[in-house]
Structure 1
Amino acid sequence: MRTNGLEGKVALVTGGSRGIGRGIAERLGRDGAVVAVAYARDARAADEVVDVIRKNGGAAFPVRAELGAHGDAAALWEAFDEQVTAHAPGGGVDIIMNNAASGLYSELSSLTEEAFDAVFAVNVRAPFFIVRHGLDRLRDGGRIINISSGAARIAMPEIIAYSATKSALDNFTLTLAKELGPRRITVNSVAPGIIDTDINADWLRGNAEAEAQAASLAALGRVGRPEDVADIVAFLASDDSRWMTGRVLDATGGSGL
């Protein structure tokens, strides 16, 4: 089991049952944190992540909360509180990892108000209120890490609303860093590019042309993997990042340079 100074720390990872979130949850578990793997619907996938963390010598537990409606953030923390003391005496949390997100492919001309509200509910309102309700649980010197997107700085009309949610999240990161600085809580965003996850599997995997095109966008010449993002998050979660806050870290492999 690899450790990185997170022994005794408690981390909440939303969307932790698959993709980037799974990579993050497993990495933080290897680094010694007790990981709350938050998921929306797929209990089997969340249990699998928990089992992997435990088999690697770590500690973890699943937390179910489907984000996107009013009151979901409070429900998430209630579910967290019910279990955390069994795994970390004293409860509380040290790392809040806002990873869960909803995608939306739609240009402005076809964008409906319902779809706009839905993607903002998951990608913006949920992180806001997860932090809002989590502040009393978050220990001084803790970490808040938000998963943004390279799309927040690149003009992509086909995902205009999704990109706007990530821009909002980046500003939340900036402002929250200033507000929580006196408590020595750092707040940063990580902005991935195209990552080989299940959400991209339909068009990316098994399609050599699509993979080559996606790889060509990155200066480093390949498609990103969940562990590429998870390793950056691990740095931000550790004490090594103690003097960095209010930043958006590019995790696109140099896309759009």
Structure 2
Amino acid sequence: MSQKIALVTGGSRGLGKNMVLSLAQKGINIILTYNSKKEEALEVVRQVEAYGLKAAAIQLNVAESKSFDAFWQETAQTLQTHFKTATLDYLVNNAGIGIHASFAETTEEQFDTLMNIQFKGTFFLTQKALPILADGGGIVNISTGLARFSFPGYAAYASMKGAIETLTKYQAKELGSRGIRVNVVAPGAIETDFGGGAVRDNSDLNKQIASVTALGRVGLPDDIGSVVAFLCTDDAKWVNAQRIEVSGGMML
């Protein structure tokens, strides 16, 4: 069984939790981060351990870039004590929030919140991960279908994800000499509590999205994690700098 280790940010619930469990099903050990949901995070750790794997949860607020040095020090310590290694194989930048506001009404505070979490956080968290990321490893960044098609209310959010998609190409180019692959997964609309759970709980919105999706339904968390897990295996060894949209064919 592989002794590879993946770190998934925001792994305590929603898509992140599904990514963690999908990675575990491939025999990959897990470090997951949580912002405030410690009990939920520890429950996911228990689920991973039930597969006979090692797992740990570490608190992280991706909006606070000044905390990243301390976070990676704690991660390095956890790798030594819990996993008996000095390196991480895969980093999945999943943690994030959604803010729904029209372009005309988006406040500077909302913009800065999204910037700090979705773009600046991912940029510098990954930069500071480089010393403990193993050569031949991989990075998976999470974007959104909204970077390709437009729904009113997501101008700031989708713009940050557009930046992530450009960053992914530069990371792939600059880290290629170390054999590190960098790809981006772009989910379509998913039934989770993300953004207040609107896609899941608003039946009109749910029907509207299903009607513009080739496969005729809204996405589920289980549709996404397996694609992220695939990118963290040797099956994807020649997939690099790619944007993989996982949306069932939305807005074709």
What TM-score do you get using the length of structure 2 for normalisation?
0.95
2:221 is aligned, of 205, 226, 241, to: 226
| One-letter amino acid of the counterpart of residue 181, structure 1 | G
Are 1:143 and 1:186, in contact at CA under 8 Å, matched by a contact in 2?
yes
Paired residue for 2:62? 67
Q: Does 1:196 align with 2:191?
A: yes
Instruction: State how 1:96-175 maps to structure 2 within 5 Å.
Output: 96-175=91-170
CA shift in 2, pair 1:207/1:110, >3 Å? closer
CA shift in 2, pair 1:135/1:202, >3 Å? closer
Are 1:64 and 1:79, in contact at CA under 8 Å, matched by a contact in 2?
no
CA distance in 2, matches of 1:203, 1:174: 31
CA distance in 2, matches of 1:215, 1:184: 39
DSSP-derived class of the 2:131 partner: coil
Q: Does 1:31 align with 2:31?
A: no
CA shift in 2, pair 1:169/1:182, >3 Å? same
Structure 2 spans left out of the alignment, 5+ residues: none
Structure 1 spans left out of the alignment, 5+ residues: none
Cα RMSD (Å) of the superposition?
A: 1.5
Q: CA deviation at 1:133?
A: 0.6
Q: CA deviation at 1:253?
A: 0.7
Aligned residues: percent identity?
A: 37
User: Which has the higher mean CA deviation after the structures are superposed, 66-75 or 147-156?
Assistant: 66-75
Q: CA deviation at 1:201?
A: 6.4
Paired residue for 2:207? 212
What TM-score do you get using the length of structure 1 for normalisation?
0.93
Q: Does 1:79 align with 2:74?
A: yes
What do residues 152-194 of structure 1 show as CA deviations (whole Å, max 9, x unaligned)?
1112331100000100000010111011111111000000011
Q: CA deviation at 1:17?
A: 0.5
What do residues 112-138 of structure 1 show as CA deviations (whole Å, max 9, x unaligned)?
111111111000011111111111101
